[in-house]
Chain A
Amino acid sequence: MSETRFVIDTARCTGCLTCAVACADRAATLDDSTPHEPPLWLSVEAIESGDYPHPQLFFRVVHCFHCQRPACAEVCPVEAISREGDWVVLDEGTCIGCGACEAACPFGAIARRPDGTATKCDGCADQTACGRDPVCVRACPMRALHFQEDTAPVGEAPAARVLDEAFDDAGIGPRVTYWRRSPRAIPRPEPEDTTRP
């Protein structure tokens, strides 16, 4: 059986932040030490580019992608991070708060608590163990987030999607695939007759 992975359809993601809040709600249950500032395991980055009147906007959902060769684990001086089964697991009791993992993660997926210790997405291992999708996936009002066994884009028009080439996976085998809307999916309007009033 191939490994499950996060498949994120950025053509559908409108940056509503529902996944981030749903994740924080669960994280606050698991770790209620800072209830007003629950651990932020998932963030949504708005990426804006292009000049007026042709702005481009897409949102990138980022959390721990439970890499096959996790850069964070490699740099941890106290071996608090390890890959266990499908998941990259952080032993928070062992963490000394040095911040090396935060610096090593190319996706910015590791957050710090007020006391400096690291905290990150646990993959909703308790959810997936009972056959449920991770909380962020279930929370998405746009059905843009998926947790599945292949990398195929989701939806009725896979031809309208292309792999996100802007995403640099840094060669560490993150379990995520981003899809973007294909430019070809947007046919150009016909040329205009500008001579008329």
Chain B
Amino acid sequence: MADETTAVREIPFTCTLDCGSRCELVALMRGDELLRIDTPSRPDTVERPRLVPCARGRAHRGQLIARERVRHPLRRLGARGEGHFEAISWDEALDEVAECLTATKRRWGTQAVMHAQGAGAIMGRGLHGASASQRFFSYWGPWTDARGNESNYNASMAATWMLGERINGSDRATLLDSRLILLWGMNPAENHMGPNTAHFIAKARDHGARVILIDPRYTDSGVLADEWVPIRPGTDAALVAAMGHELERNGWVDRSFLDSHTTGYVEYRRYLLGESDGVPKTPVWAETITGVAAPTIRYLARLLGTTHPAAILPGWGPQRTLAGEQAARAFIALACMTGNVGVPGGGLASVGTRSGTWAIGALPRGPFGPLRNVTPGAWARHVLDEGLDPPLRIAYIVASNLINRSPDTRLNIKALHALDTVVVQDPYLTPTAHHADIVLPICTELERPDIALSWGHDDHLFYSPRIVPPVGESRSDYWVFARLAERLGFGRMYTEGRTEQQWLDHLMAHSPLDTATLRRDGILRRDGAPRAALATFRADPDAHPVATRSGRIEISTPQAMRFGLPLIPSHVAPVRDADDGPGGAHPLQLVTPHHKLRSNSCLAGNPWLRDLEPHAVWINPRDAEARGIGAGDAVTVSSSRGMIVVPAKVTSRIMPGVVCVYQGTWHQPGADGHDHGGCANVLTDQGVSPSGGYATHSAWVQVSRRAP
């Protein structure tokens, strides 16, 4: 039995998953052996709560032993996608990749390479994942990027139009001042979005705050809520409008805040009251659109209009829809109408940035940038586009299970098969790696050092040292690109003579920060009084304007009209296919949220997490009964794009007319041509919102009992 009382060393580190949080983890070491993972043992204080990691962070040792880990460089045998590989040496693999890049550059030019990344390891201040690959291509030549914001694109657009830029949210501890918290499509119990978010909500509730969950599902966050308001996906802007109508009618609008801190409210007000289109946005009007009963809408409006401060906390689900810009804009408008901007306990729809205010450098870029960018959600269409000049010939995929995490998985596979070469760098033999010609094994966070920033609020800087040697022959992304650069003649430019640890040492040595503490504690915290976003703007909008042209929050934004959207945050009903919707072949709305045991599809191969909660399609008892579906029955979920086979979870935790398949399980094609892994993106399509954002929550499906 391992005795932890003797000679155990604690090394702080952090996860660098693309997850929305950064937490404090501790590796318990005896000598060079990793015994297990823990959290810092210091006590919590209100000002300085421990950044307690979730199950994903605690399962890192499972990553070291996962059967799907790639332990050696692999070369395809047989046809692409058959999944047969041979182990080859690093030299062979790197020579082959280098030759292939050179030949493609000569024949088609560097733009024939599509570099895809995302949803795997972080970038930003990190050295790994896309930070390493983009530095490589920035010396090699202008490439084609498949890069974009799949997470909160529409909210980013809304923030850019209305606030002039993406802003960080308030520190989570400010929630202790809230009297009302609206979890609007937000699910902190499962998605966290910053360590301690759910913790502070529970604490605020103990202090008397009322918590309302507005969501098509009664998520695990329902435990923290006093009431659940189910709402049809994609209709949030209509609910906001009806609440706004009630705020206006009852004199609950914070007119003085609107006058002093915003512009363009008058047009939105005319819309709410029906002066512009003859349709007052009454609760009865909204009921038919949203599925929320009119009395409930009046109740919500009264709560929000008479309870201060109120935190309106939207998740990113409502904006990941075909008119998602409108929901994101409406949330900002609603916070303004109720004066909940810049006050502790209030809040504003934030998208969060990781630009950070920490004075520390990042891995620099070389002279070239991407010359083309293909829409990240629709890259497959560009690959298959015969008119593209030059055509895409190589997919170079780094830290991304691309086919699984992009909409329309089956089209994505077809696209990969149309390419000359597919190179994948990943710790796991993912469904994407399955279709590669060369798979380069990459190590996970325990196996390489990095620096990382927290997301969006509660600003912290992390240093995460290497804890254990890389598994098998796996290496870091930086290591791989350094050797590829050497083969292609710019090794010295790429590395500047540094290993990844030397880069980190270099960045820390040239930082004015207390990097000795950063190394020792693994974290630099910016604690003190919790900060409310836009507090200085609230106090003095002339001295601290927001980044719009007027310096005020702009509720009417002509920029949106360039994309065919209205001037104001009104409800827009997206056009849908004839088959989609009640009465059609695909009558059920599908939502595909993140799961608490995965980060996108990362960790789907972690043996310690994989089987803890069974995968299923959530369906309301009414919809299940109408289809003869019982709990646990095998069912098919089908859309115009494909079909998956999964068990049914018949539950009153989802509203009728809506079903849910958590995204991120790995695609597993069966002999019948359907997916048996429950991969949600087999069902989604590549349609985007008017300004170009992901719309994966706007899918329509049918659920049927599987023929025995």
Digit string of A16-45 for contact with B (CB within 8 Å is 1, else 0)? 111011101110111000011110000000
Query: Considering residues A51, A140, A196, which has the most beta carbons from chain B within 10 angstroms of its beta carbon?
Result: A196
CB of A38 within 8 A of CB of B608, answer: yes
| B308 CB within 8 Å of chain A | no
* B413 partner residues in chain A, CB cutoff 8 A: none
| B165 CB within 8 Å of chain A | no
CB of B282 within 8 A of CB of A197, answer: yes
| A160 CB within 8 Å of chain B | yes
Provide the main secondary structure of the chain A interface. Answer: loop
* B502 partner residues in chain A, CB cutoff 8 A: none
| B613 CB within 8 Å of chain A | yes
* B59 partner residues in chain A, CB cutoff 8 A: 21, 25
Name the CB-closest residue of B to A59. Answer: B223
CB of B55 within 8 A of CB of A53, answer: no
CB of A52 within 8 A of CB of B58, answer: no
| A83 CB within 8 Å of chain B | no
| A171 CB within 8 Å of chain B | no
| A155 CB within 8 Å of chain B | yes
CB of A14 within 8 A of CB of B206, answer: no
Tell me the chain B residues, 549-584 only, with Cβ under 8 Å from chain A.
Answer: none
Tell me the smallest distance from the CB of A177 to a CB of chain B, in Å. 18
Given A30-B2, A126-B3, verify A18-B223 contact (CB < 8 Å). no
Given A38-B608, A57-B222, A57-B223, verify A139-B39 contact (CB < 8 Å). yes
Name the CB-closest residue of B to A154. Answer: B206
Partner of A16, one of B39, B189, B226, B282: B189
Digit string of A107-132 for contact with B (CB within 8 Å is 1, else 0)? 00000000000000000001101101
Q: Which of A65-73, A74-82, A186-194 contacts B (4 or more CB under 8 A)?
A: A186-194
* A160 partner residues in chain B, CB cutoff 8 A: 206
Given A36-B607, A141-B198, A192-B299, verify A30-B55 contact (CB < 8 Å). no
Partner of A142, one of B198, B228, B621: B198
* B195 partner residues in chain A, CB cutoff 8 A: 141
CB of A12 within 8 A of CB of B202, answer: yes
Partner of B2, one of A21, A29, A57, A127: A29
| B377 CB within 8 Å of chain A | no
CB of B4 within 8 A of CB of A139, answer: no
Complex-state Cα separation, A98 to B612, whole angstroms: 26
Number of interchain pairs (Cβ within 8 Å) = 151
| A105 CB within 8 Å of chain B | no
| A55 CB within 8 Å of chain B | yes
Given A15-B223, A53-B652, A57-B223, verify A142-B199 contact (CB < 8 Å). yes
| A3 CB within 8 Å of chain B | no
Name the CB-closest residue of A to B226. Answer: A186
| B357 CB within 8 Å of chain A | no
| B36 CB within 8 Å of chain A | yes
Tell me the smallest distance from the CB of A126 to a CB of chain B, in Å. 6
CB of B220 within 8 A of CB of A57, answer: yes
| B655 CB within 8 Å of chain A | yes
Tell me the chain A residues, 153-197 only, with Cβ under 8 Å from chain B.
Answer: 155-157, 160, 186, 189, 192-194, 196-197
Name the CB-closest residue of A to B654. Answer: A52
CB of B58 within 8 A of CB of A22, answer: yes
Complex-state Cα separation, A128 to B379, whole angstroms: 54
Partner of A14, one of B58, B208, B220: B220
Digit string of B218-232 for contact with A (CB within 8 Å is 1, else 0)? 101111101110100
Tell me the smallest distance from the CB of B629 to a CB of chain A, in Å. 15
Tell me the chain B residues, 43-96 only, with Cβ under 8 Å from chain A.
Answer: 44, 52-55, 58-59, 61, 65, 67
| B190 CB within 8 Å of chain A | yes
Tell me the smallest distance from the CB of B451 to a CB of chain A, in Å. 23
Contact size class for A? 35 or more
Digit string of B422-440 for contact with A (CB within 8 Å is 1, else 0)? 0000000000000000000
Tell me the chain B residues, 289-306 only, with Cβ under 8 Å from chain A.
Answer: 294-295, 298-299
* A87 partner residues in chain B, CB cutoff 8 A: none
A-B CB contact pairs (8 Å), 21 listed: A14-B198, A17-B612, A18-B55, A20-B612, A21-B609, A28-B36, A29-B35, A36-B607, A37-B607, A52-B622, A53-B652, A53-B655, A55-B218, A55-B653, A126-B5, A132-B41, A139-B39, A141-B192, A141-B198, A186-B227, A192-B295
Complex-state Cα separation, A132 to B202, whole angstroms: 25
* B283 partner residues in chain A, CB cutoff 8 A: 197
| A104 CB within 8 Å of chain B | no
Given contacts A29-B35, A38-B608, 12 further A-B contacts (CB under 8 A): A14-B223, A15-B220, A18-B54, A21-B609, A21-B612, A24-B608, A36-B65, A55-B652, A59-B223, A138-B38, A141-B192, A194-B295
Name the CB-closest residue of A to B223. Answer: A14
* A15 partner residues in chain B, CB cutoff 8 A: 189, 220, 223
CB of A16 within 8 A of CB of B206, answer: no
Tell me the chain B residues, 1-36 only, with Cβ under 8 Å from chain A.
Answer: 1-5, 35-36
CB of A11 within 8 A of CB of B608, answer: no
Enumerate the 3 nearest inter-chain pairs by beta-carbon distance, A residue then B residue, closest first: A14-B189, A52-B652, A157-B206
Given A12-B202, A20-B612, verify A141-B652 contact (CB < 8 Å). no
| A48 CB within 8 Å of chain B | yes
CB of A156 within 8 A of CB of B651, answer: no
| A13 CB within 8 Å of chain B | yes
Complex-state Cα separation, A38 to B611, whole angstroms: 12
Partner of A55, one of B190, B222, B284, B597: B222
* A12 partner residues in chain B, CB cutoff 8 A: 202, 223-224
Tell me the smallest distance from the CB of B161 to a CB of chain A, in Å. 32
Complex-state Cα separation, A10 to B653, whole angstroms: 18
Digit string of B607-630 for contact with A (CB within 8 Å is 1, else 0)? 111001100000011100000000
| A95 CB within 8 Å of chain B | no
Tell me the smallest distance from the CB of B209 to a CB of chain A, in Å. 11
| B596 CB within 8 Å of chain A | yes
Complex-state Cα separation, A16 to B595, whole angstroms: 10
